[in-house]
Structure 1
Amino acid sequence: MIVLPRPALRSNSCVLLFLCSSFASLIAIISGLTTRLSAGWAIDLSETIGWLCKIRILVLFVLRTMFVWLLVFAAIDRWLSASIHNHRRNLSTLKNARRSIIIVTLFSLVLNGPLLYCYEANLIGTPAKCFGYSTECRLYTDLSFTIGIIVIPSLLMTLFGFLTINNIHQLKKRVNTRNSSITNPNMSINLHVQQQKKRTNRSLFKMLCVQVLFLILCSAPYVIYRLYITFASTTSSKSELQKAIEGLLFNLCTNLTYLSTAMPFYIYTLFGGTMFRNELLHVAKSTYRKCRCL
């Protein structure tokens, strides 16, 4: 969030989507993990206060939805920017990126709005005290999370990922053809600038692919466990050992979902190419100089 607004990056529409996605993931981590940690010390107020339980769940799921769907629009933006057709490339703009953010925000609120009704505090016999109070509510939560946040976004990101790869191959062929026919020095300079932009686009696409992979791997166990809990028999018919195992699995799978939202910085640093690392180094040097002047 400190590096992405840099002047060298902020004019890119995909970077704006990455920035908003990172902001959503940060708040999701704060709203989710702080209560997970406080629950371990039995001081989580959302487990006993109904309205606080509802608000926390709504904020958490809305931000998770925004985090994922902003990546979907980032994948679409990469496909547009890598297209060989001018009218498609012209759609990859900051204005359209801002429109995408508004659409994602409204969609996230509509999708997760019913959670205000479904979640209650002080529940007994559930993996957490702040949980869906009925089978219907739990089923809606599971299906909305599975289909609306995991399955459909993953399919769309995979689809546009392959389409982007196809566009990149087509662009490479065109660049090779132009290189063999260049005689004007000005044309050579323009081609060099275009190639730099394409390297930036490839770095952004690589970052996106790795982030999608982490999202699927970290979310799949949680989806499977939630569906199992919804359709399994009631807790009263289970032994204490089985309850303990299910409680452990719930904590592991839930905490694993936060891993995908906490990984963007490492993904950008390792897979963002020299573009992101140079900007990160510049920010570090600038901060160091300011600290020395104090």
Structure 2
Amino acid sequence: MFTTNTSSSFITTIHIITIHMTYYGPIILLVIGIIGCLCNFLTFTSRQLRKNSCAFYFLCSSLFEFLTITFGLTSRLAADHFGYNLQNTNRIFCKFRAYFVSSIPLIATYLILLSAIDRCMSSSIHIYLRSFSQIKIAYRNVGIVIIIGFISCLHILIFYDLRPKCATLPGIYAIFDGMFVIFWLGLIPHALMLIFGLFTLINIRQARQRRIKKLENKNIYIYQKQYRNSHKTDTQLIIMMFVQIGLSSLLNLTRMIYYAYYILGPLFTGDEKVIGSFLMSFTTLLYYTNYVKSFYIYTLTSRLFRTIFIQRIKGFIYKIFKSQTLVIMVQETITVTHRRTV
């Protein structure tokens, strides 16, 4: 009897935690994510970064991250707590919601991969490879990734339907969908990010060694100073790369693995449904956290990003106060002129 009461109390507690988590979690992520994305827009559109191909990838990724959290989180929050259950009652909305909550994050992830490739190309000692790190090539690459991202998820429009809730077609397609999520949305892009990140570090070390050889016969002081500066740059790049890739992999793959188990594994029964609902909600919040974190990672790991962001904020504040001052001066001039005429 005691064991039964304890188990019932535990399940009730898990259920209450799930309710609060699915309500407050999306709201917090929405606020933090929207602010972060707007700050990214502000920074990456600055004059210093406007023509930089890597910054352009980050800018486009921030746009799709913004779409991911605003569409995905708001529709989930509305369905869970505000009775807006259109995805389980309307067939068209079911298909297109499932399509966009897969394709938009997919594009955001592969745009980050493009930025990793761009860093690898730009740090190469070969001129031919460095030539790929150009803004005009970045424009084309972004277009290609967007097209591939939307096309690769078209199967969702075909096989997702009301059954009676919005879900995949059971059987072989459920297995394919689980593998699609794990590999195409999870393992492949993050593995490639890591590979190109490591190649970037190799390129940086090779370039540093070439500079050291050129300076060895000139001045030992210059050599030491150059080594210290290069070491600091290496450290910053290592921190930025591994924090970004590590957090993205942890947050994204946690969700992907559980989602695959949910699709491919046995159906939950009894109290297992409550625990399964908690795990699904928790991993979903982790998944969306991946598209909220970018501004805060860039701010913590990059001095250049912080400097440009602060400059842009100061510039906007100056423009606001300057425009208000002009309005006040115009109003005072009109008032003085009116009094003179009277």
Q: Which among 236, 249, 259 is matched to residue 216 of structure 1?
A: 249
- With normalisation by structure 2, the TM-score equals 0.74
Aligned to 2:91: 50
SS in structure 1 at match of 2:266: coil
2:143 is matched by which residue type in structure 1?
Answer: I
1:75 touches 1:157 (CA, 8 Å); kept in 2? yes
- Bigger Rg, which one: 2
Does residue 256 of structure 1 match 2:286? Answer: yes
Q: CA deviation at 1:208?
A: 4.1
1:17 is matched by which residue type in structure 2?
Answer: Y
Residues in 2 aligned to 1:65 and 1:45: alpha-carbon distance in whole angstroms: 24
Does residue 147 of structure 1 match 2:183? Answer: yes
Aligned to 1:243: 273
Q: Which among 291, 298, 310 is matched to residue 281 of structure 1?
A: 310
Q: Which among 241, 247, 265 is matched to residue 295 of structure 2?
A: 265
Counterparts in 2 of 1:78 and 1:178: CA distance versus 1, 3 Å? same
Counterparts in 2 of 1:51 and 1:208: CA distance versus 1, 3 Å? farther
Q: CA deviation at 1:2?
A: 1.4
2:45 is matched by which residue type in structure 1?
Answer: P
Aligned to 1:22: 62
Residues in 1 aligned to 2:104 and 2:237: alpha-carbon distance in whole angstroms: 22
1:66 touches 1:105 (CA, 8 Å); kept in 2? yes
Q: Deviations over 1:94-125 (max 9, x none)?
A: 1221121122112112211000012224x45x
1:53 touches 1:120 (CA, 8 Å); kept in 2? yes
Counterparts in 2 of 1:89 and 1:206: CA distance versus 1, 3 Å? farther
1:267 is matched by which residue type in structure 2?
Answer: I
> Aligned ranges for residues 23-38 of structure 1 at < 5 Å?
23-38=63-78
Identity %: 28
Counterparts in 2 of 1:14 and 1:208: CA distance versus 1, 3 Å? farther
Q: CA deviation at 1:267?
A: 0.8
Q: Deviations over 1:125-147 (max 9, x none)?
A: xxxx3322423333222211111
Q: Which among 106, 116, 120 is matched to residue 65 of structure 1?
A: 106
Residues in 2 aligned to 1:36 and 1:29: alpha-carbon distance in whole angstroms: 10
Aligned to 1:136: 172
1:218 is matched by which residue type in structure 2?
Answer: L
Structure 1 unaligned spans of 5+: none
Q: Deviations over 1:58-115 (max 9, x none)?
A: 1221111111111221111111100111111112111221121122112112211000
SS in structure 2 at match of 1:10: coil
Q: CA deviation at 1:232?
A: 2.2
Deviates further, 205-214 or 41-50: 205-214
Q: CA deviation at 1:289?
A: 2.0
Does residue 171 of structure 1 match 2:207? Answer: yes
Residues in 1 aligned to 2:238 and 2:292: alpha-carbon distance in whole angstroms: 19
Residues in 1 aligned to 2:237 and 2:95: alpha-carbon distance in whole angstroms: 36
- With normalisation by structure 1, the TM-score equals 0.85
Aligned to 1:112: 153
Number of aligned residues:
274
Alignment root-mean-square deviation, CA:
2.4
Aligned to 1:96: 137
Aligned to 1:227: 260
Residues in 1 aligned to 2:104 and 2:317: alpha-carbon distance in whole angstroms: 33
Residues in 2 aligned to 1:209 and 1:66: alpha-carbon distance in whole angstroms: 21
Structure 2 unaligned spans of 5+: 1-40, 325-342
Q: CA deviation at 1:215?
A: 1.4
Aligned to 2:334: none
Residues in 2 aligned to 1:3 and 1:161: alpha-carbon distance in whole angstroms: 23
1:57 touches 1:115 (CA, 8 Å); kept in 2? yes
1:71 touches 1:208 (CA, 8 Å); kept in 2? no
Q: CA deviation at 1:254?
A: 1.3
Aligned to 1:74: 115
Residues in 2 aligned to 1:149 and 1:177: alpha-carbon distance in whole angstroms: 43
